[in-house]
């Protein structure tokens, strides 16, 4: 983790670029294109340059002073890395076991393995987590960062009621760090096939103003009056309302929230079926033993 936090500054802008968005309640993944963050989060391109930051984990500071909704201040020059998609795996302090299971299955547990995966798929992966006043938990997290070096740490309280704000901070930070065609929000209770996700996004690249998701229980927002840039209590509802306001194309893809592995599944969600309230790590390890789940191109370490 860097000796000092990476901090970014956002300035209002009216320019729009390509974007990807959808109105669906997402089971596991949320995708957004560059213009989404221009329009929704009003983030500008960092002005300076600096060499690639090592180690790979990055700490960001969420600055609310003088800004009603908060902003990320820029202290240094930051070169935006070019990738096809940045995948932020949303996680918390109680999910140590989930992160371990993910690193043992579809995401590499060592730096070189993660680099190979990113080079092969064009996708960058980081666990996204906030902060807590519990010093023992923060110390344990720091140890995990030192060992695996695969985090994006955001200066916002890690609690359920803060999920919409954490999601907003994640997208703004991801945009500041990565010049990406897609920005992906994933949860830490899914079994993902990075190779298949890469193929899906590569096919969608020519389609501008498109948002991909998985509709579980119907539209997030149906009232036209709710087409606005505001924060709701649920992060999926919040993003769904933003997508409606942007008048984008919506694509519902159930391969992103399959109930089990198949030849076409991209992500298996709700493992087991408990809406994220139970421990999916054992089931995740069981799935990985199946050839139809892991395949030959998961790039994971056994």
Q: Which of 4, 133, 15 is nearest to 58 (CA)?
A: 4
- How much is the pLDDT for 8? 38
- How much is the pLDDT for 290? 93
Q: With a cut of 50, list the residues of the chain below it in pLDDT.
A: 1-53, 66-77, 220, 297-302
Task: Report CA dihedral (174, 159, 192, 145) to the nearest 10 degrees.
Answer: 70
- How much is the pLDDT for 224? 60
Structure tokens at 187: 């949860």
CA distance 144 to 147: 5
CA distance 301 to 109: 7
CA distance 209 to 43: 18
What does pTM read for this prediction? Answer: 0.75
- DSSP 8-state class, residue 206: T
- How much is the pLDDT for 246? 75
- How much is the pLDDT for 205? 85
- How much is the pLDDT for 202? 93
CA distance 122 to 255: 20
Q: Could you tell me what percentage of the chain is helix, strand and coil, using 3-state DSSP and rounding each to the nearest 5?
A: 35, 25, 45
Q: What are phi and psi for residue 67, nearest 5 degrees?
A: -135, 125
Structure tokens at 23: 């109105």
- How much is the pLDDT for 236? 75
DSSP 210-228: EEEE-EEEEES---GGG-S
Strand partners, 83: 180
CB 23 within 8 A of CB 252: no
């Amino acid at each position: 983790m860097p000796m000092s936090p990476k901090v970014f500054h956002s300035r209002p802008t009216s320019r729009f670029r390509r974007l990807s968005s959808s109105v669906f309640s997402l089971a596991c993944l949320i995708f957004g294109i560059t213009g989404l963050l221009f329009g929704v989060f009003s983030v500008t391109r960092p002005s300076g340059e600096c060499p690639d930051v090592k180690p790979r984990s990055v700490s960001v500071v969420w600055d609310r002073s003088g800004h009603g909704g908060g902003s990320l201040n820029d202290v240094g020059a930051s070169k935006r890395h070019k990738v096809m998609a940045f995948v932020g795996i949303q996680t918390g302090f109680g999910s140590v076991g989930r992160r371990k299971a993910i690193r043992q299955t579809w995401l590499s547990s060592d730096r070189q393995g993660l680099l190979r995966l990113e080079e092969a798929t064009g996708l960058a992966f980081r666990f996204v987590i906030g902060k807590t006043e519990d010093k023992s938990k923060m110390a344990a997290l720091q140890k995990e960062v030192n060992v695996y070096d695969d985090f994006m740490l955001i200066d916002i309280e890690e609690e359920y009621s803060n999920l919409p704000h954490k999601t907003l901070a994640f997208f703004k930070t991801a945009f500041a760090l990565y010049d990406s065609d897609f920005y992906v929000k994933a949860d830490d209770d899914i079994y993902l096939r990075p190779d298949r996700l890469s193929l899906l996004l590569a096919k969608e690249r020519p389609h501008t103003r498109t948002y991909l998701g998985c509709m579980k229980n119907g539209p997030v927002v149906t009232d036209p009056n709710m087409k606005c840039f505001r924060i709701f209590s649920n992060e999926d509802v919040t993003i769904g309302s933003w997508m409606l306001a942007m008048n984008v194309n919506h694509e519902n893809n159930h391969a992103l929230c399959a109930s089990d592995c198949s030849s076409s599944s991209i992500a298996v969600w709700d493992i087991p079926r408990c809406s994220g309230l139970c421990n999916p790590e054992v089931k995740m390890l069981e799935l990985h033993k199946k050839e139809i789940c892991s395949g030959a191109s998961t790039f994971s370490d056994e």
